[in-house]
Chains A and B, each alone.
Chain A
Amino acid sequence: MNGRPDLSVQIGKVSLKNPVMPASGTFGYAVEMVPYIEVNRLGAIMVKCVTLKPRLGSLPHRLAESPSGSVCTIGLQNVGFERFVKEKMPFLRELEPPLFVNIGAQSVEEFAELTSRLNKVEGIDALEINISCPNVKKGGIQFGVDPDSTYQVVKAIRQETDLTLVTKLTPNVTDITVIAKAAVSAETDAISLINSPLAMVIDIEKRRSRLGRNLTGGISGPAIRPIAVRLVWQVAQAVSVPVIGVGGITCAEDALQFIIAGASAVQIGAYNLIDPTCLIKTIDGIEAYLIRKKIGRLRDLIKSLEVS
């Protein structure tokens, strides 16, 4: 093998120099992370979910811990489309990696409206469609638990933009491949999974949820990693578009499990909050693994699980 291995991957129309990006909601609007990591080394930037109007988010006491896990409910607190474009985009536009913007809405029409506006904003490379937030409900049901709603949302967004679309799925379903296929038939360019499973932690002294009046939250962190790896493997078998794996990744060894299971790229979430340098260490670790295994291109490792 000559030279360094090729870590580049393709997600829809977007070329990533390496497969590592943050998960939405754990990286702020990137500016918060600049004191801690070399942001330009990332494969892509993923920012906090943007909604059409600002959202105050969940009530206080939003975070609880569980073994190797974080149970939290932020409730999509964000500054809304207008302030995002005015205050956050100027900085984001200066960064080298492609920019993925996570989007949320409470109706199909709102998703379409938000997309149509973002489509006119310079500097955005891809949209990640959040139909899977466990902490925001639309009439009690999320879009992502139903294949028809998933299809309608993705289709409505597709009609508004030629940007690369990634649909982020919830694990809170009986058969995730049905939802993945619905998103693909509505022409998503890629699938990301998993968003956080719905969870609860109780303080037995007070007989109250550790998330106070919010009661429940989504669990993330290493506790969910084996579930996420299994779901990525299932979805990668079921669809032909690229899959982005997310769930409890802390290092290259964790990320490689997802890649071998079928992920073309990976996102790191909760662990950014503990060790902001983990994204960079993961990129370096993946490269070291490819050198050690004498694999010239990362693409050759994707979906390479031996099953016999």
Chain B
Amino acid sequence: MDLEHEILKNVHVAQNYFKVTLKMPPHSPVPRPGQFYQIWCSGSTDPLFRRPFSVHRFLQRGSSRHLEILYRVAGRGTDWLSKREKGEKLDILGPLGNGFIIEEGQEPIVLVSRGIGIAPLYAVGEEVRRKDKKRKIFFLIGARLKERIFYASDCKELGKVFIYTDDGSRGFHGRAPDLLAHLLKERKISQGVCLYACGPAEMLKELASLSTEFGFRGQVALEERMGCGFGACLACACPLDPKRIVKNSQWKKPSLHWSPDGNQVYALICKDGPVFDLNEVDWNEWTA
């Protein structure tokens, strides 16, 4: 098992956001947007666990393959990662988990993120654009304050960008669900959209209530601490609503685990996710 991958670039993007580019072997599997890699972010046992990062971009030219990971320095593991230089090697496992399903059709694609949540959603935007040059793509990107806003210009190349900040220092004054509700009510985005979201659990929970109010479909990428990433440790259990589980050819959900009475079900984020249907997650339990 060869896990060592050469760093081609590791650059500062904005504030505490960085992007690392890795050289991948010619036979390496092509990841789907939403899938993730487990990266060993220390040269020792401290920090102990690998960190999960979603695929941001995967570039193929001839036999060369490059993987880009967009990440935020949030603790000692990511701080260690941000200090790696060109030519050093990273120990990575992946791609792991289920990806987003890119819905065919004409409905506008709405990509709602907060902070580093843009990393996998940009990948969705790129894939949609590759498949359909004309389809409408809207990005809702935001953060607590304007200094934390990044990637807006990259997103503009793929679709229309709406910015929000909690303090109103740039763009819409409020949070992502408020902005989405506003845009739908004002018909700035036509109703009946396909929503993709990544960000804090509370934001995703509010988007789920909006989906009932406005009647749209959605998919979310969840974040959680992981032990292994491959279904052995059962640490990343997430409660689902037993009546709303979505299974299909891409989301096989091999690790669902039911209570004896059938009233409760846990999925493993690493094997059954990290992408879930917006309405299958038991948000009250998940955010409790």
Contact = CB atoms under 8 A, between A and B. Distances in A.
Contacts of B236: 62-63
A273 B233 contact: yes
B230 A213 contact: no
Nearest to B46: A68
A68 B239 contact: no
A261 interface: no
The 10 closest A-B pairs by CB, nearest first: A273-B228, A28-B232, A63-B235, A273-B227, A68-B45, A68-B46, A56-B259, A32-B232, A222-B45, A63-B225
Given A54-B259, A57-B266, A63-B233, 6 more contacts: A26-B232, A56-B258, A57-B237, A69-B48, A250-B45, A277-B1
A25 interface: yes
A272 interface: yes
Interface stretch (A72-80, A102-110, A239-247): A72-80
Interface string A38-72: 00000000001000011011111111110111101
Contacts of B238: 60
Given A54-B260, A57-B266, A221-B45, A74 B288 contact: no
Contacts of A270: 48, 227
14 contacts: A28-B233, A32-B231, A36-B1, A54-B257, A54-B260, A58-B237, A65-B48, A68-B44, A72-B233, A74-B234, A77-B234, A79-B257, A221-B45, A276-B1
B216 interface: no
Interface of A: 25-28, 32-33, 35-37, 48, 53-54, 56-65, 67-70, 72, 74, 77, 79-80, 212-213, 221-222, 250, 270-277
B46 A72 contact: no
A36 B44 CA distance: 20
Given A56-B264, A56-B266, A77-B266, A68 B235 contact: no
Given A63-B225, A213-B288, A57 B234 contact: yes
Contacts of B1: 36-37, 276-277
A32 to B, nearest CB: 5
Nearest to B258: A54
Given A28-B231, A60-B237, A65 B260 contact: no
Interface in B6-58: 40, 44-50
B48 A60 contact: no
B233 A26 contact: yes
Contacts of A53: 260
B154 interface: no
Contact of B225 (A28, A64, A276): A64
B233 A74 contact: yes
